[in-house]
């Protein structure tokens, strides 16, 4: 007998855990997570949650800022839902006892790049994700939600075109198990491990996107990957995010020669959109022959830095850096995927019974470039809508896209570097990173297609993850090669301008999925 549940939720970040708490009121719930329950991107989220709850703010204003950041590719309906339902989701978190920061009895609101007013809600200063994650974990543990850790989902099982369950590799025991369900909800996070420098944890290997693609789900907007401009760059230290909010509080960027350069590149200077700041930093690094620039907050009051950014302050201090007295060495790092498994406004994919929420999903709210702090909000709003949808008898699903692409057949190359995670991450960073060109993208696409043919047998977690990353890398490189323009987070040196004919989405579907 297969184990049967009403809901199977894959992933234990904010999207998966919040959905589980709502789903358990409707039926039985199984949460599957490939590592421990708290090992994901949510706990690394420093910035906070954007929501129009301030007296000088409104959902309409939040809507305008989100649309502007998305550079012509946002789904207007999805953004409208996101901004209008934000306050209800924040109320939900307050009821769940998330300890948001307050001042004079009211929730404090911070300012971040490309937001027209302060609307960023924090918890524990720069530890928002961690506070939310810990609260949701405690809440889930107090319910009848069944959580299985160290279980890597390897396949979405379909029958008659409908998602019916999953296959799971229980890697501590080396066993393959099956679970069936009425609804399968992907909440597996992003693909940051595709790149040499990333703020993402090592679990971010694109498993949900790869699984969904193999099952026949549509994958959209994979070319739009956001690189965070400021991750710490110290020898032997993994990139650690230095929140956007540091610049929001007045931090300034200087090059290796001590020159403040951002006003030369953008009217918004340090608070310009992330893609602009990232490319500007890259340009300054090249000019000065350095592998970093510096984020300076030494002119700000020391108590502001230590109370507003306790995590960042402590992390830097542990690595011999007092940021109240010396600037922080930073450089861009891979951060967030705008694309993913294509869903409608109820988080439904084109496969009945299969939903996607959080970073794995492409809801259309981010368009070509995510507005800072909209990601945690998106996970809440569309996680809630997924569960609401399962309560109705409505059987409609997201319409299949009329025009979609298949991954092209590419001739295998005879002379490629051996496939391993290091080589894959270097290839993606160099060829499919912040600045792209037809030459680099074609080389990457050819190498990735060759690697895909020679994937090792899937025998452990690392081999499954490597296979998923190669497939996601192919989807990203091919999408970036097709889009012959520069828009949002996608920048090509050979097509540096935006083109009206590319105000559309690139959607892939697996023609071999039946």
DSSP 446-460: HHHHHHHHTPPP--S
And the tokens for 397?
């699903």
Q: Which of 141, 186, 160, 164 is nearest to 34 (CA)?
A: 186
Per-residue pLDDT for 393 more than 80? no
Dist. CA 421–CA 418, nearest whole Å: 10
Encode pLDDT of 396-414 as tens digits: 555 566 789 999 999 999 9
Query: Quick check: 332 and 434 in contact, CB under 8 A?
Result: yes
188 and 203 inside one domain: yes
Res 394: pLDDT: 56
Angstrom distance (rounded) from CA 270 to CA 264: 10
- Average pLDDT of the residues in 139-143: 97
In Å, what is the CA distance from 495 to each residue of 112, 438, 502? 29, 9, 12
| 70 & 206 share domain | yes
Which residue, of 315, 332, 349, is where some domain finishes? 332
- 170 and 239 fall within a common domain: no
What integer pLDDT is reported at residue 299 of this predicted model? 97
Q: Does the pLDDT of residue 1 top 50, yes or no?
A: no
* Mean pLDDT, range 213-242, rounded to an integer: 95
Q: Which residues participate in catalysis according to the annotation?
A: 274
- Residue 111: what pLDDT? 82
What is the CATH number for 315?
A: 3.90.700.10
Predicted pLDDT at 61:
97
Q: 456 lies in a domain?
A: yes
Residue range 174-213, pLDDT digits in tens: 899 999 999 999 999 999 999 999 999 999 999 999 999 9
Number of domains in the chain: 3
pLDDT digits (tens, 9 = 90+) for 356-390: 999 999 999 999 999 989 999 999 999 999 999 99
Tell me if 235 is assigned to some domain.
Answer: yes
Q: Print the domain residue range for 287.
A: 228-332
pLDDT of residue 379: 97
| pLDDT beyond 70 at 514 | no
227 strand-pairing partners: 334
In this structure, the chain runs to a length of: 514
The pLDDT tens digits for 412-469 are 999 999 999 999 999 999 999 999 999 999 999 999 999 999 998 999 999 999 999 9
Asked if residue 248 belongs to a domain, the reply is yes
Strand order in the sheet with 328-337: 225-232, 328-337, 293-296, 252-254
- Model confidence pLDDT, tens digit, residues 38-80: 887 777 777 789 999 999 999 999 999 999 999 999 999 999 9
- For 465, phi then psi, to 5°, come to -65, -40
CA-to-CA distance for 446 and 413, rounded, in angstroms?
7
As a whole number of angstroms, the distance between CA 307 and CA 11 comes to 32
The arithmetic mean of pLDDT across residues 333-349, rounded, is 97
1 plus 49 within the same structural domain: yes
Cα–Cα dist 361/338, whole Å: 8
| Geometric angle at alpha carbon 113, from 109 and 117, rounded to 5° | 40
Strands 225-232 and 252-254: unpaired
pLDDT of res. 80: 98
Q: Does 407 reside within a domain?
A: no
| Kind plus residue range of the DSSP H or E element containing 133 | helix 128-141
Reported as a single tens digit per residue, the pLDDT across 271-303 is 888 888 999 999 999 999 999 999 999 999 999
Query: How confident is residue 126, by pLDDT bands cut at 50, 70 and 90?
Result: confident
Residue 324 and residue 355 in one domain: no
Residues 200 and 246 in one domain: no
Residue 511: predicted pLDDT: 80
**Contact criterion met (CB below 8 Å) for 475 and 407:** yes
**Mean pLDDT, rounded, of the chain:** 94
Same domain for 70 and 185, yes or no, is yes
Q: Are 193 and 470 in contact (CB under 8 A)?
A: no
Pair (468, 447) in one structural domain: yes
196, 259: one domain? no
Predicted local distance difference test score (pLDDT) of residue 399: 59
Q: Which pLDDT belongs to residue 40?
A: 78
Residue 39 buriedness (CB in 10 A; 0-12 / 13-18 / 19+): middle
pLDDT in tens, 104-121: 999 999 887 788 999 999
29 and 55, same domain (yes or no): yes
Tell me if 143 sits within 8 A of 27, measured CB to CB.
no
- The sign of the dihedral angle between the CA atoms of 481, 484, 485, 488 is negative
The DSSP symbol for 413 reads P
Q: How far is CA 483 from the centre of its chain?
A: 21
125 sits in the region (left: phi over 0; alpha: psi -120 to 50; else beta) called left
- CB 30, CB 181: distance < 8 Å: yes
- Residue 436 to residues 10, 293, 416, 473, Cα–Cα distance (Å): 33, 21, 20, 14
Q: Are residues 382 and 293 in the same domain?
A: no
**Could you say which of 398, 429, 449 is where a domain stops?**
398
- Domain final residue, candidates 307, 332, 357: 332
> pTM for the whole thing?
0.94
* Band of pLDDT at residue 513, cut at 50, 70 and 90: low
Cα Rg of the chain, angstroms: 22
């Amino acid at each position: 007998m297969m184990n049967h549940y009403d809901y199977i939720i894959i992933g234990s970040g904010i999207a998966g855990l919040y959905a589980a708490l709502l789903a358990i009121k409707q039926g039985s719930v199984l949460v599957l997570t490939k590592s421990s329950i708290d090992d994901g991107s949510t706990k690394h989220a420093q910035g906070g949650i954007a929501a129009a709850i301030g007296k000088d703010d409104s959902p309409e204003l939040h809507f305008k800022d989100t649309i502007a950041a998305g550079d012509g590719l946002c789904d207007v309906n999805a953004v409208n839902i996101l901004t209008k339902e934000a306050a209800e989701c924040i109320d939900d978190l307050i009821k769940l006892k998330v300890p948001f920061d307050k001042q004079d009895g009211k929730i404090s609101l911070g300012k971040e790049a490309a937001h027209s007013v302060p609307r960023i809600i924090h918890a524990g200063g720069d530890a928002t994700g961690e506070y939310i994650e810990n609260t949701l974990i405690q809440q889930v543990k107090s319910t009848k939600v069944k959580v299985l850790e160290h279980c890597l989902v390897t396949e979405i099982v379909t029958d008659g075109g409908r998602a019916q369950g999953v296959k799971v590799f229980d890697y501590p025991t080396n066993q393959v198990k099956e679970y069936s369900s009425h609804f399968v909800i992907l909440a597996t996070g992003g693909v940051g491990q595709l790149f040499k420098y990333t703020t993402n944890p090592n679990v971010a290997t694109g498993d949900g996107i790869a699984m969904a693609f193999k099952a026949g789900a549509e994958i959209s907007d994979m070319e739009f990957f956001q690189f965070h401009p400021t991750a710490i760059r110290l020898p032997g230290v993994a990139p650690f995010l230095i929140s956007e909010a540091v610049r929001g509080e007045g931090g300034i960027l200087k090059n290796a020669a001590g020159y403040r350069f951002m006003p030369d590149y953008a009217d918004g200077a340090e608070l310009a959109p992330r893609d602009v700041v990232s490319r500007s930093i890259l340009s300054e690094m090249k000019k000065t022959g350095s592998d970093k620039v510096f984020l300076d907050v030494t002119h700000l009051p020391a108590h502001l830095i230590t109370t507003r950014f306790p995590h960042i302050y402590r992390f830097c201090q542990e690595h011999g850096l007092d940021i109240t007295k010396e600037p922080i060495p930073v450089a861009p790092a891979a951060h967030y995927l705008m694309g993913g498994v294509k869903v409608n406004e109820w988080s439904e994919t084109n496969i009945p019974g299969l939903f996607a929420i959080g970073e794995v999903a492409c809801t259309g709210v981010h368009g070509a470039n995510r507005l800072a702090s909209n990601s945690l909000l998106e996970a809440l709003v569309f996680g809630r809508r997924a569960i609401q949808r399962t309560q109705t008898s409505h059987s409609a699903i997201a319409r299949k896209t009329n025009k979609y692409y298949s991954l092209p057949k590419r001739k295998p190359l005879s002379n490629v570097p051996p496939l391993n995670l290091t080589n894959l991450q270097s290839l993606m960073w160099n060829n499919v990173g912040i600045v792209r060109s037809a030459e680099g993208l074609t080389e990457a696409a050819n190498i990735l297609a060759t690697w895909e043919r020679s994937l090792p047998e899937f025998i452990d977690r690392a081999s499954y993850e490597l296979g998923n990353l190669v497939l996601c890398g192919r989807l990203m490189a091919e999408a970036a090669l097709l889009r012959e323009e520069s828009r949002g987070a996608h920048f090509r040196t050979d097509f540096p301008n935006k083109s009206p004919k590319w105000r559309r989405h690139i959607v892939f579907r697996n023609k071999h999925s039946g």
